[in-house]
Amino acid sequence: MSQPPYRLGDRSPVVAEVRGKLTRLGLLPPLRDPGDPDATLFDAEVDRAVRQFQQERAITVDGVIGPATYRALEEARFRFAARRGGRAGPS
């Protein structure tokens, strides 16, 4: 992740990507409409899921998607795919 950290209230394609990863990990429900512009919004639901993910992984729980959280999400995605016997694929 080469961009600044993301937090509650931010809007970015990176937030949509992270939302998808958190959904695949079971920390967020799927969006009803993946094309919804709210998919890019770092809302309270994403904040709660990020904090839960950070707590489960012993990362500083601050609700911010910084380099450490982003890297842990990437690693979790690959471990999740390995458990399912498949490839992680694009996010």
Mean pLDDT over the full length of the chain: 86
With CA atoms as reference, report the closest residue to 70 among 39, 42, 34, 38.
Answer: 42
Pairwise CA distance, residues 39 & 19, whole Å: 7
Q: Yes or no: say if 30 and 16 are a contact pair by the CB < 8 Å rule.
A: no
For residue range 21-34, list pLDDT tens digits in order: 999 999 999 988 86
Asked whether residue 51 carries a pLDDT value surpassing 60, the answer given is yes
Lowest-confidence region among 28-32, 41-45, 62-66, 87-91? 87-91
Q: Average pLDDT, stretch 24-45?
A: 89
Asked whether residue 79 carries a pLDDT value surpassing 70, the answer given is no
Asked whether residue 88 carries a pLDDT value surpassing 70, the answer given is no
Tell me the percentage of the chain whose pLDDT exceeds 90: 67
